[in-house]
Amino acid sequence: DSLLQETLNLAMLSTRLFNTISRVAVRNFSNTKPALATFAVQDEAEFKEKVLGSATPVVVDFSATWCGPCKLLTPRLDAAIAATEGAVDLAIVDIDDLADIALEHGVNAVPTVLGIKDGQIVDKFVGLIDEDKLSAFINKLRE
């Protein structure tokens, strides 16, 4: 029974995610809106410039290719950030490639997500969270 319930929950999440991405994709086919502000951080210099030095608030997704929950969370974050239409950026940091950045920011589990505004951490969560909490997290950065 629990396996069936888990499968149903995953199917419902997948459907919601697909619907959200579909709406976001249609919304962003405009020549007046900026491109989606999601990027993978390549090195420490880029992190300092595009995250800590950004005038736009940034959600930083510390994840890993081997992390199952990360594979569920990252597309949800991407869709939620795209819905802000440029008000918030998303930086994805692979902890295996950039362990020093992860350690500097107290990351000891993945996924860990930081909300950074004006170079300062204003909010943080670890693990998967529901849609309401994710929206509240992103809206807090927009204030």
Alpha helices in 28-121 (DSSP H): 44-47, 68-82, 99-104
* DSSP conformation class of 135: H
Give 67's contacts (C-beta < 8 A, 6+ positions apart).
110, 111
Give the whole-angstrom CA distance, residue 141 versus residue 68.
26
Contact assessment for residue 87 and residue 138, using Cβ atoms and an 8 Å cutoff:
no
Give catalytic status of residue 6 as yes or no: no
Q: Which of 70, 93, 110, 138 is catalytic?
A: 70
Give catalytic status of residue 130 as yes or no: no
Q: Which of 41, 51, 67, 95 is catalytic?
A: 67
Active site residues: 67, 70
